[in-house]
Amino acid sequence: MLWQTPGAGEHHVAELFSGGHRERAARMVEWGIPEPTAGEVASAQGPEMGKAILALYRSIPPAVLLERGTDLPAAAAKPGLVPVATEDVTTGSVALRHRAARRAGARAVDLDGLGHWWMLEDPARSARLLVDFWDGV
């Protein structure tokens, strides 16, 4: 993963957070974060946020992530929900997310037309999805 690679991760985060506030906010909108949230996120972007992102992504070694993947069937002991935003290109294919949900015994629900920031793109639909899941548990 790019953000786990020293040097390359720092370069990528610096690139993502480059430019002035308007440029960063426009970039957030392109990624699916609607205004005014895009502007709020852009205001917080800077070296400290970059360090926090890299620390988070580097806090779990890739080998541990692989191990967690093999433990997915153990997750079936509790109810699970996997919102599958069909336009999210950052979290693997739709088929991969459905397979992971099946292995974990979770219910996968397609959110057609939504991307990585699905909860911001359609808050009402997202809230219904979560409330329906919680009501059914």
Per-residue pLDDT reduced to its tens digit, 61-119: 888 878 887 888 888 889 999 999 999 988 899 999 999 999 999 999 999 999 999 99
**pLDDT tier, 40 (very low <50, low <70, confident <90, very high otherwise):** very high
Sign of CA dihedral 45, 48, 54, 55: negative
Q: What is the pLDDT of residue 22?
A: 96
20: nearest Cα among 53, 49, 45, 37: 45
Q: What is the pLDDT of residue 119?
A: 96
How is 87-101 classified by DSSP, letter by letter? Answer: T--SS--HHHHHHHH
- Compare 127 and 4 and report the one with higher pLDDT: 127
Q: What is the pLDDT of residue 88?
A: 94
CB-CB contact of 42 with 28 (8 Å): yes
Alpha carbon distance 12, 50 (integer Å): 10
Q: What is the pLDDT of residue 71?
A: 83
Tell how many helices (H) and how many strands (E) occur in the chain: 8, 2
Q: What is the pLDDT of residue 26?
A: 95
Mean pLDDT, the chain, integer: 93
Q: What is the pLDDT of residues 44-72, one digit of tens each?
A: 999 999 999 999 989 988 888 788 878 88
Sign of CA dihedral 123, 91, 20, 14: positive
Q: How many CA atoms lie within 13 A of 27 on its CB side?
A: 14
Residue 83: helix, strand or coil by DSSP? strand
CB-CB contact of 39 with 21 (8 Å): yes
Residue 113: helix, strand or coil by DSSP? coil
